[in-house]
Structure 1
Amino acid sequence: MQQVRLGRTSVSTTRLSFGGAALGNLFTAVDDTTAAAAVDAAWAAGVRTFDTAPHYGLGLSERRLGRALRGRPRSEYQLSTKAGRLLEPVAGLVGDDLANGFAVPATHRRRWDFSADGVRRSLEQSLLRMGVDRVDTVYLHDPDDHLDQAIAEAMPALERLRAEGVVGAIGAGMNDSGPLTRFVRETDVDVVLVAGRYTLLDQSALAGLLPAASERGVAVVVGGLFNSGLLADPRPGATFDYATAPPELVQRALRMQEVCARHGVPLRAAAVRFAFGHPAVASALVGARSADEITDAVKQFELPIPDALWPDLQTSGLLPTDVPVPKDGT
């Protein structure tokens, strides 16, 4: 699978990246064998970039990903994790973590910490959980309510870690493209991860983030390609951004599916490929909880898509006419 550089760094990424949230039992449990098989299938398909975070299953995703990658040549894959939530043990078993979205025992509590010391401690803990001596990229994770501290304290700490060679690339990951634009303009990030804000149904990242990233040479990784489900399987009751999709959005997605079908393209394939129409986008992050899911994602990503599909979506009023679209198989 093609690899590209993250901004001005020496860190590369495959065009499709593996998102590890499901390995942390996102919403429902995944057994160890299934989780390992998902990573194995990603590797077999050519994916070499793997993303995780302490938040995902209170460290379960990091532990599982570390085990699944153990024994593979470290120089052949890129690993990213996140900082901003420290995991602290709790006394006794106090239920599950489903309130935070993960089907795991609540053995730890998350404590927000975007201080310089918090960033270093978070990374140290992540390395121990994964059993590796380094990661390639560290993102500040969801600093929405801590922007000033993240910019004033956490980012300088990441810059020092990068200068020391501890990490190769630094950035921030959020669902809101507005604050990410601030990181791009005010800090020395190499990459930003934006979830759900540059998809077939939501192009809000185009208003500020993507132009700013292009201007400053910052790479963009796009997650949430299916907007949590609607673009993967459009139907009444489907989810959009983790809530039941409004009827008008369901109808829009169904109309997109009809246009895609006229060109012999599954809507899932168009959803995976759409973001690559913008030159700032380096990689698309796809979450998977099984070998079948990641194998299907790679298949959709590699499916030839006729150039005529995109203007058809635009003339049908389903995509704005000023949104850049992929061309010539890009």
Structure 2
Amino acid sequence: MRTGRLGGTGVQVTQLAFGAAGIGNLYRPISEDAAVAAVEAAWEAGIRTFDTAPHYGLGLSERRLGAALRGRPRAAYTVSTKVGRLLVPDDADGDDLANGFAVPATHRRVWDFSADGVLRSLDASLNRLGLDRVDIALLHDPDDHAEQALDEAYPALERLRDEGVVRAIGIGMNRCGLPARFLRETDIDVVLLAGRYTLLEQEGLAGPLSEAAARGKSVVIGGVLNSGLLSDPKPGATYDYAPAPDVVVARALRLKAVTERHGVPLRAAALHFPLGHRAVASVLTGARSAQEVLDTVEQLRRPVPPALWDDLRTEGLLAPNTPTPTPHHSAG
């Protein structure tokens, strides 16, 4: 599988990255065996970049990912995790489904973008992963904590990078304004942008992506299927973790009509699309089973004719200046 480098760092990422929220029991439980099988399928397909976070299943994602990677050559893969939410033991009954994860509510999340919080978070993540280092550390959703993230968490990450504790640092969000600000005001290496640069919507083009390209930084794109809408657009489909408005479903159905006219499934075009931008180093997709991994890899290997992108522009579904992939972007 094709690989690229994050910004000016030596960190290599594969064109397709494995998002480990699903193996943290996102929305519904999966077995330990299914989680391991998903990671093994990703490895066999050539995926060497894995993203997780304490938030995902109250640490379950990190534990399962670490277990599945154990025994693999450490220099052969890249792991990213996130800081900003500390997990504090809690004796509350019930589950964590209010936060999206089908796990017992053994801990509660505490926002903490202090320097000490960054160090404690990474130390706990390393323990759960069973690793002596992570490659990429990302500020996780600091929407309501922007100033503390800039003034305290970012300098802590910068020091850790200088000391070689982590190799790359950045921010992961599903909004555009703050990542663009971080690119302008700090020396982050990467932005993980979820849902805001997809075949359905390109809000991120004028902000984080243009800022990253101008500065030689990288962007990893998550949420390329817009919470599943671009996998199977229909009334009641999910968009941004909620039922999709009718106007959004209608646009997705128009996209589907164009892609299928060219013999390309909508989800395949959606996976390819972000890779047309020169700042995009990788596309991050979640999976909870080996079958889902294999389907994603298959879709990314499908050829997408340039005429498909031309037709989307002609029908007003892509702006004229939107960059689109060329055939060499297909995964190998």
Shorter-chain-normalised TM-score: which range?
over 0.9
Structure 1: 4+ residue segments shifted above 4 A: none
Code of the aligned partner of 1:43: W
Q: Secondary structure at the match of 2:144?
A: helix
RMSD: 0.8
Q: Secondary structure at the match of 2:211?
A: helix
2:323 equivalent to 1:324: yes
Deviation at 1:329, TM superposition (A): 3.2
Would you say the 8 A contact 1:305–1:329 is kept in 2? no
Pairing 1:47-126 to 2, within 5 Å after superposition: 47-91=47-91, 93-126=92-125
Q: Secondary structure at the match of 1:308?
A: helix
Distance across 2 between alignment mates of 1:315 and 1:2:
31
Q: Secondary structure at the match of 2:164?
A: coil
Counterpart of 2:150 in structure 1 is 151
Deviation at 1:238, TM superposition (A): 0.5
Distance across 2 between alignment mates of 1:65 and 1:86:
19
- Superposed CA deviations along residues 7-43 of structure 1, whole A, max 9, x for unmatched, are 0001110000000011111111111111111000000
Q: TM-score, normalised by structure 2?
A: 0.98
Counterpart of 1:4 in structure 2 is 4
Would you say the 8 A contact 2:303–2:327 is kept in 1? no
Pairing 1:298-313 to 2, within 5 Å after superposition: 298-313=297-312
Aligned identity (percent) is 65
Would you say the 8 A contact 1:196–1:223 is kept in 2? yes
Counterpart of 2:296 in structure 1 is 297
Would you say the 8 A contact 2:95–2:103 is kept in 1? yes
Counterpart of 2:195 in structure 1 is 196
Code of the aligned partner of 1:22: G
- Superposed CA deviations along residues 266-285 of structure 1, whole A, max 9, x for unmatched, are 10110001001110000000
Distance across 1 between alignment mates of 2:270 and 2:53:
24
192-201 or 254-263, which deviates more: 254-263
Distance across 2 between alignment mates of 1:324 and 1:204:
13
- Superposed CA deviations along residues 167-208 of structure 1, whole A, max 9, x for unmatched, are 000000000011100110011100010000000111000121
Counterpart of 1:18 in structure 2 is 18
Counterpart of 1:136 in structure 2 is 135
Distance across 1 between alignment mates of 2:292 and 2:152:
38
Distance across 1 between alignment mates of 2:141 and 2:240:
15
Counterpart of 2:44 in structure 1 is 44
Would you say the 8 A contact 1:171–1:192 is kept in 2? yes
Unaligned runs of 5+ in 1: none
Q: Secondary structure at the match of 2:199?
A: coil
Q: TM-score, normalised by structure 1?
A: 0.98
